[in-house]
């Protein structure tokens, strides 16, 4: 049966190369206790530079054609420190790539009614192409109501039920940025998912669920297991995984005894641990005990510098795609001068 290509939102890159031959575990097993690390480090930091370069060219071509930049509305409510950091990173990426951003920053006390009115005004504004409402929202605001109020065409996070539903059905949609970034990284490094056992730790709407939906499609052909906080024992599921994706949000959830030799490990965790040697007072750690797990793997993402930069790169790409969609063109219709 021919493989069916869905999710063609992804821009196909000429620089995708196949390093599948690098994915091996023989040496590390053979050397036993003295094994040296042979894992391929999947650098989201490096790949995001390539993706952003291409997105930037698309932005310049868009501006030439429509006399304005693609535009993202960035909404932040409250003072969650992690959210503030993420939003800062997203705005910086917009500036570097050539995406205009309009910023809406409110304190905790913003009412749900005011936020819904803001979203409605952004939906109605033809000069706004994408809307990002940073989550989590303060507890008095119903997140579902807010997400559902965003025009699916401007939902560059891919969180709206229309986009999630289309994704599940294998139809073209805005795809949530973290899962999309993980797939882009696997593709870039030549890691195939066909017939693989993939274990996802975490069932969030942002990562776990869309990740599972993408991997089960006919263009990915993985056998997917999702473990969550009420899975009695995650170990047997993790142990059999060819590809492990951890999106739990706690350090050292994944230890070396749990990981199959030669597995590919994707660490979505962005956990802050106190570190007085840093100016910020904290260091970023993933969910995975990197130092001990890495030698067992064939490929692994670092934290920082792995999934995080890819999430932002995909947000930028989704914004340009949304801008083009709303102008009735495909990104391929933009004349990009190499």
The length of the chain is 338
For residue 290, give the 3-state DSSP assignment. Answer: helix
Residue 224 C-beta: closest distance to ligand GUN, Å: 21
Q: Which residue number, 262 or 269, has a Cβ lying nearer to ligand GUN? A: 269
Candidates 55-63, 126-134, 210-218, 295-303: pick the segment binding ligand GUN (CB under 6 A): 126-134
Residue 157 C-beta: closest distance to ligand GUN, Å: 5
Active site annotation includes 4:
no
- Active-site residue, selected from the candidate residues 57, 129, 134, 287: 134
Q: Any contact of residue 157 with ligand GUN (CB under 6 A)?
A: yes
Q: Any contact of residue 164 with ligand GUN (CB under 6 A)?
A: no
Type and span of the H or E element at 124: helix 112-124
Q: Give the per-residue contact string, 268-287, with ligand GUN (x = CB under 6 A; - = no).
A: --------------------
Contact yes or no for 173/325 (Cβ under 8 A): no
Q: Exposure of 167 by Cβ count < 10 A (0-12 exposed, 13-18 middle, 19+ buried)?
A: buried
Q: Any contact of residue 177 with ligand GUN (CB under 6 A)?
A: yes
Quickly count: other Cβ atoms within 10 Å of residue 10's Cβ.
15
Residue 248 C-beta: closest distance to ligand GUN, Å: 14
Q: What whole-number distance in Å separates Cα of residue 249 and Cα of residue 244?
A: 15
- Active-site residue, selected from the candidate residues 129, 151, 157, 242: 157
DSSP code, position 288: B
Q: Any contact of residue 288 with ligand GUN (CB under 6 A)?
A: no
Residue 312 C-beta: closest distance to ligand GUN, Å: 9
Active site annotation includes 134:
yes
Residue 65 C-beta: closest distance to ligand GUN, Å: 28
Bond before 286 cis per omega within 30 degrees:
no
Q: Which of residues 202-241 bind ligand GUN (CB under 6 A)?
A: 206
Q: Which residue number, 51 or 263, has a Cβ lying nearer to ligand GUN? A: 51
Q: Which of residues 132-151 bind ligand GUN (CB under 6 A)?
A: 132-135
Q: What does residue 71 show for φ and ψ, rounded to 5 degrees?
A: -130, 130
Q: What whole-number distance in Å separates Cα of residue 134 and Cα of residue 89?
A: 12
- Active-site residue, selected from the candidate residues 69, 90, 209, 296: 90
Active site annotation includes 287:
no
Contact yes or no for 183/13 (Cβ under 8 A): no
Q: What whole-number distance in Å separates Cα of residue 217 and Cα of residue 8?
A: 13
Q: Measured at the alpha carbon of residue 115, what is the angle toward residues 55 and 175, in degrees to the nearest 5?
A: 35
Residues that bind ligand GUN (CB under 6 A): 132-135, 157, 177-178, 206, 311
Active site residues: 90, 134, 157
């Amino acid at each position: 049966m021919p493989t069916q290509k869905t999710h063609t939102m992804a821009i196909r890159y000429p620089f995708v190369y196949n390093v599948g031959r690098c994915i091996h575990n023989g040496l590390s097993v053979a050397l036993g206790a003295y094994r040296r690390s042979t894992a391929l480090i999947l650098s989201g930091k490096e790949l995001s530079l390539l993706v952003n370069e291409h997105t930037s060219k698309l932005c310049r071509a868009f501006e030439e054609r429509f006399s304005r930049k693609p535009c993202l509305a960035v909404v932040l409510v409250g003072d969650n420190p992690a959210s503030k950091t993420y939003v800062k990173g997203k705005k910086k990426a917009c500036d570097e790539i050539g995406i205009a951003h309009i910023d809406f920053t409110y304190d905790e006390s913003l009412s749900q009614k005011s936020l819904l009115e803001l979203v409605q005004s952004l939906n109605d504004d033809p000069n706004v192409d994408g809307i990002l409402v940073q989550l989590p929202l303060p507890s008095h605001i119903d997140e579902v109501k807010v997400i559902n109020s965003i025009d699916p065409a401007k939902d560059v996070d891919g969180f709206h039920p229309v986009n999630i539903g289309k994704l599940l059905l294998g139809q073209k949609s805005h795809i949530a940025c973290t899962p999309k970034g993980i797939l882009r990284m696997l593709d870039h490094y030549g890691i195939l998912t066909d017939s693989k056992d993939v274990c996802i730790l975490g069932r969030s709407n942002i990562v776990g669920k869309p990740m599972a939906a993408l991997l089960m499609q006919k263009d990915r052909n993985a056998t997917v297991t999702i473990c969550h906080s009420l899975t009695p024992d995650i170990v047997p599921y993790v142990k059999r995984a060819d590809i492990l994706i951890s999106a739990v949000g706690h350090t050292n959830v994944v230890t070396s005894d749990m990981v199959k030799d030669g597995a590919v490990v994707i660490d979505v965790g962005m956990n802050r641990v106190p570190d007085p040697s840093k100016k910020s007072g904290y260091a970023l750690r993933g969910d995975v005990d990197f130092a001990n797990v890495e030698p067992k793997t064939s490929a692994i993402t670092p934290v920082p510098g792995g999934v995080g930069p890819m999430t932002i790169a995909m947000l930028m790409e989704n914004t340009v795609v949304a801008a083009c969609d709303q102008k009735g063109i495909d990104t391929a219709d933009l004349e990009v001068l190499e």
